[in-house]
Structure 1
Amino acid sequence: MTDQTKMPEPAPINYYYLWHLTALGVVDAEYGSAPPMPPAPDASAARALPDPLITGTVWDAIVSAGPLRPARVALIDVGVSPDHPNLATRLDREASIDLTTHRYGARVLEILDTTTSFDREERHAFFAGLDIAPLGNMGLSNDDRDYLGDLVAEYAASEGVLRRLYNPESLFASHGTCCAGLIVGEPAVVAEEGTPSLPPEGAFYGNGDELRTSGNRNVIPYFGVDPFSRLISIRTSFEDDVRQFIAAFLYAYLQKADVIVLPRGLPDPKHSIVDPKNELKADLELWKNQDAANLFTRIALADQGGPELEPKAAQKGSNPDRPWHVLKQLILAISRHIPIVCAAGNSGESQLIYPANLAADNNGVIAVGAVTVEGFRSGYSNYGEGLTVVSPSDDGEVFNRHQLRLDRLSPFAAQHDYSAFRTREYCYSHFSLLTTDLSGIFGYDHGSDPWSAVVPFGTNPGIGGGYYTTFGGTSGAAAQVGGLCALIQRAYKSRHNLGDRLSGPQVKSILKTASRLDAIVAPGTRKLTADCMNAESEDAVEMAYFFGSGLPNARAAVQAALAI
């Protein structure tokens, strides 16, 4: 081990369940030597906020700036559970859309009475009024511009459906539900009349008001980065259907979102390809690695649509790349008006996934990597040119010739001898993100239905009865930065009493200026520290290569927005 990896001591395993909010400066807390554990998820333990050491929040600064003006966050993901108690009042159901089951959009209506037919559908024009003229010159050729113009005209005149069927987001929305909680989760308090609502402005801390939960023993007082903003769920699939993604960004733009969050990659057949780095290419030229070189060549052919490996190759005369190019230019054009927050990727590569790799100084695409409470890049987090900022998340084990990162508490760790690696060992972090989960067996935690009084034999009731789960990845990191961007937009609106928003590059600039490369990821004690991952002496490269502008501070970002 090197000196930098030996010191200081690892952060304690017992930790406050909203530790990531303190790391970002959203919540101010004095940890002392032993941060408190999360409260038991029952009514008696959840009557008040769990930690008496909390001394303030960044939300208070915005409250004092002017009237409450929530930001609108468009989450392009697999959907969000509409009934989660910590999300029910934050999700804008009337604006949310499902683009996976209908090309022109679908939405599930609540069944108000038993006489309503379950299979009844109503037409609804989700894209009415769509006009992209304000986007200006998008850098498209005449043919590409005509292609996009025809597509926009088609969607503007289209009709989707309103359905009275079982909501598919109750089954498949685990990832989106986790991200939504990190962005806008709220504590599900009950007002005097018994209806769920947020507490009065300034009632979070310091004024003696008691926060009361909904009475559900499985609900805890949970907070996202900005619990005062609203979320629009734009449900998409993982299919390589380019029209679906074009429609998602067009819809977010139509809804006048203040922030767009894409906590995953898009399957662009060209831009998604990750080219081998020079050091890997050099290894593949060695005779002893000829088999590996042959495998890489065949994989590259498959990724590029080689004719012998692509049964659905485009017919002669068509241009299959055109819609993907249009999507790229559309993302860049929208980002100049609305910040687009993207996950950097979870493959440990020294390059970013698409569309995070579009991030540049002249646009509003924000590429987010993940760091641990130990101050290191998360073991899986992509990094490299274009990375904007980093945010707290969990960790991943690493076994390669450049570093060793082990979960020493795992029972498997003691079964192996790792001394043969003879590489530097970096501290593994046991901290993960706690966030809202899709309840029931389809959630990440596979909990039982929270409303069920009987837990079936052999099932795991999950954290909070299935309402919460541990989470991480650059998805979780991107979701938190999406919440920070919502705070920036909301602060600007509150101070200036405007319905307008800051542009994507303006928000990105504020975020970068409010970030530091010498930051400490609380409650840890180590500053951000580079690690050697994919090349010899890689940790000697400039810090921005691993962390972009660094770890953002919410208070500094909000103050900058208020000062505009």
Structure 2
Amino acid sequence: MFGDDTRRPQGREIYDDYAALWHLESIGVLGLLRDGPAPCKGRKSRVAVIDTSVAVDHPCLVPAIARDLAIDFFSNRLGAFPCHPGDHRLTLDLPNLATTVPDDLPETRALLGELVDRLSPGAIAHVNGVAPATSPDFSNHGTAIAGLVGARPALVEIAAEYRGAGAQALSVPLPYAGVDPFCELVPISTNFDTDPEMLILAFLYAEIIGADVVLLPRSIPDPGRIVPELASVDLDGEDLGSLATQVEIPPRERALWDELARLIVAVSMRRPVICAAGNSQESGGIYPANLASEHNGVIAVGAANAKGMVAGYSQVAGATLLAPSNDAETFDRVSVRLDEQQARFADRLCPPHNDNRKFSHFEIVSTDVPGRHGYSYSPYASDEPPEGLREFGSYFCRFGGSSAASAIVAGFVSLGRSLGEIEPCADGPAVRNWLLSRCVSIDTDEGSFLYPSWTGKVSFPDLYGL
């Protein structure tokens, strides 16, 4: 209820407006980008994104995507190239084909040999006529991640036929930017099956292309790694961890899972591997974020909301740092954090304001699959026209989680590369140390955490009522 008005609003809840790029301002890069700094000379910072596929034709992503290098391991064991016709012959710029990173990993070394053969000049982009599995149906998450890292503002045209009789074409600005709009993005798409070979090949490919940053904004469902808490739960003399193992893992597959963990750490010693820390308050973070340590270049990223509080689904323990993201309600023995607006409109009891002061309704806005797919749907049932916009509401979406936070950190590190703040020869641990030097410490009653800041200051826009 608001004042004496006891009428319940119809439709969506009413919240205060907020700037779509608040997360860029919070980490101190919005002003930097607005002033237009010139990136350093030489090769652009290259970010390998191991995730779902990406809507590469999104106007804000077209200049960012390295189309020749985009690869899909979903449709083909050794990869297919979604941006090439099936009979296209490959001529790739691969600076690190002779990598020695898997030298002490026998199964991985054998896979590297197969992958190098697959990438040899003259190889066909699509194997056996099988098209890459990069349909817009699969591209929601990867498109949002790509936008947060490296989207560029765009000027696009709504064709006259979509504006009504007698109307003229209209140029529409899409003033959206990722944290590093100077970088190039290499989508490395995978599925979510528990396939260690595919993930090993994805990390090997990121190594082969000489990525400056490797981003994994998801978990890896390693069947040999259970949630740590399960092992301590006793059920009639047996620990829950052993009961959770449903089938025996074949020896080669077990070896591959073991080598994958070692490969991730080995890759991180050469280039930073940035991982989402999880959305369920996992102790120590999800795998492989929980491989992060001060001795390697794996960076585990948790989430903070727009009030500078730990997001309701995140935690501090196990995270290298927290970065901007959305929030979630909590109602348990540890904390009560409810969305007061939603509580009022849902006719549910809302605790006193002081109990809910940590909740923020601010979300992250990012790029989305245009048209009828994606998180934000188009009002049209058909696919987008080949040229020009028909509508632009579906080109952006609300996003969040530690996935969004990890993408923002990947963009932050990439920006350091693009602007020459990070030495070209810096390895993964050195980049991690640079990132930590660009963080500020924030103290809350949920613990202290590090938060990225280009300027040494932070700005949290949703502080009303605190």
CA-CA distance at 1:19 after TM superposition = 0.5
> Which residue does 2:115 correspond to in 1?
155
- Is residue 274 from structure 1 mapped to residue 227 from structure 2 by the alignment? yes
Rate the CA distance shift 1:127–1:250 in 2: closer, same or farther, 3 A: farther
Partner deviation per Cα, 1:291-339 (whole Å, 9 max, x = no partner):
xx67x955x3454x2xxx32xx345xx3432111111111111111111
Q: CA deviation at 1:70?
A: 1.9
Please report how far the alpha carbon of residue 68 of structure 1 lies from its aligned counterpart in structure 2 after TM superposition.
6.4
Amino acid of the structure 2 residue aligned with 1:367: A
The partner residue of 2:403 within 475, 481, 484 is 475
- Once the two structures are TM-superposed, the CA of residue 60 in structure 1 deviates from its matched residue by 4.9
- In the TM superposition, residue 268 of structure 1 has moved relative to its aligned partner by 1.2
Partner AA of 1:363 in structure 2: N
Q: Alpha carbons of 1:150 and 1:452: their partners in 2 closer, same or farther (altered >3 Å)?
A: closer
Equivalent in the alignment of 2:98: 131
Aligned residue number for residue 447 of structure 1 = 378
Partner of 2:63: 89
**Counterpart Cα distance in 2 of 1:166 and 1:261:** 21
Map 1:391-402 → 2, pairs under 5 A? 391-402=323-334
- Change over 3 Å in CA distance of 1:246–1:127 after alignment to 2: farther
Q: Does 1:511 align with 2:435?
A: yes
2:146 counterpart residue number: 180
Amino-acid identity (%): 33
Seen in structure 2, the aligned counterparts of structure 1 residues 109 and 182 have a Cα distance that, compared at 3 Å, is: closer
Larger mean CA deviation between 149-158 and 442-451 belongs to 442-451
The one of 151, 168, 174 aligned to 1:220: 174
Alpha carbons 2:73, 2:198 under 8 Å: kept? yes
Q: Point out 4+ residue stretches in structure 1 off by more than 6 angstroms.
A: 125-129, 450-454
Amino acid at match of 1:276: E
Q: Summarize deviations over 1:373-401 as a string: whole Å, max 9, x none.
A: 1121110114313x211111100010101
**Which residue of the partner structure matches residue 461 of structure 2?**
none
Correspondences of 1:418-457 after superposition (within 5 Å): 424-448=355-379
Distance 2:391 2:368 in 1: 9
Contact kept, 8 Å, 2:48 with 2:188, in 1: the verdict is yes
Matched residue, 1:71: 45
Q: In the alignment, does 2:141 pair up with 1:168? A: no
For residues 308 and 230 of structure 2, what CA distance do their matches in structure 1 show?
25
1:255 to 209, 214, 221: 209
- 5 Å-filtered alignment, 1:243-392, equals 243-271=197-225, 273-276=226-229, 300-301=241-242, 303=244, 305=245, 309-310=246-247, 313-314=248-249, 318-385=251-318, 387-392=319-324
Kindly state the Cα deviation for residue 348 of structure 1 after the two structures are TM-superposed.
1.9
Deviation at 1:105, TM superposition (A): 0.8
The one-letter code of the counterpart of 1:504 is: G
Amino acid of the structure 2 residue aligned with 1:130: L
Aligned length: 422
How much has 1:132 moved relative to structure 2? 2.6
**Cα-to-partner distance string for 1:371-430 (whole Å, 9 max, x where unaligned):** 011121110114313x211111100010101111101111566533365x9x95442101
User: Which residue, out of 339, 343, 348, partners 1:407?
Assistant: 339
Contact 2:343-2:350 at 8 Å conserved across structures: no
3-state SS of 2:436 partner: helix
Q: Counterpart of 1:14?
A: 17
The equivalent position to 2:415 in structure 1, one of 460, 463, 487, is 487
| Helix, strand or coil at the partner of 1:366 | strand
CA distance in 1, matches of 2:398, 2:191: 23
Could you say if the C-alpha distance between residues 510 and 127 of structure 1 is closer, same or farther in structure 2, counting changes exceeding 3 Å?
closer
Instruction: Give the conservation status (yes or no) of the 8 Å contact 1:77–1:176.
Output: yes
For the aligned residue pairs, the C-alpha RMSD in angstroms reads 3.5
Residue identity matched to 2:349: D
Q: Classify the secondary structure of the residue corresponding to 2:25.
A: helix
Contact 1:77 / 1:234 at 8 angstroms: preserved in 2?
Answer: yes
User: Are residues 220 and 512 of structure 1, via their aligned partners in 2, closer, same or farther at CA, if it must alter by over 3 Å?
Assistant: same
Letter in 1 for 2:152: E
For the 8 Å contact 1:406–1:413, the answer to whether it is kept is no
Q: Which moved more, 1:154-163 or 1:333-342?
A: 154-163
Q: Aligned in 2, Cα 1:435/1:258: closer, same or farther, shift over 3 Å?
A: same
Equivalent residue, structure 1, for 2:161: none
Asked if the contact 2:372–2:383 (Cα under 8 Å) also holds between the matched residues in 1, the reply is: no
Tell whether the 8 Å contact from 1:489 to 1:501 is kept in structure 2 after alignment: no
CA contact (8 A) 1:448 1:462 kept: no
Deviation at 1:153, TM superposition (A): 1.7
Structure 1 stretches of 5 or more lacking a match?
Answer: 1-11, 28-55, 112-119, 191-213, 286-292, 455-460, 519-527, 532-538, 558-564
> Is contact 2:149-2:411 (8 Å) kept?
yes
Code of the aligned partner of 1:183: V
Structure-2 change in CA distance of 1:449 and 1:67 (3 Å): farther
In structure 2, the gaps of 5 or more residues are 1-14, 157-168, 458-466
- Change in 2 beyond 3 A, CA 1:174/1:161: farther
Following TM superposition, by how much is the alpha carbon of 1:59 offset from its aligned partner in structure 2, in angstroms? 7.3
Tell me how far 1:170 sits from its aligned partner.
2.2
Say if 1:403 and 1:425, in contact at 8 Å, map to a contact too.
Answer: no
Q: TM-score under structure 1 normalisation? A: 0.67
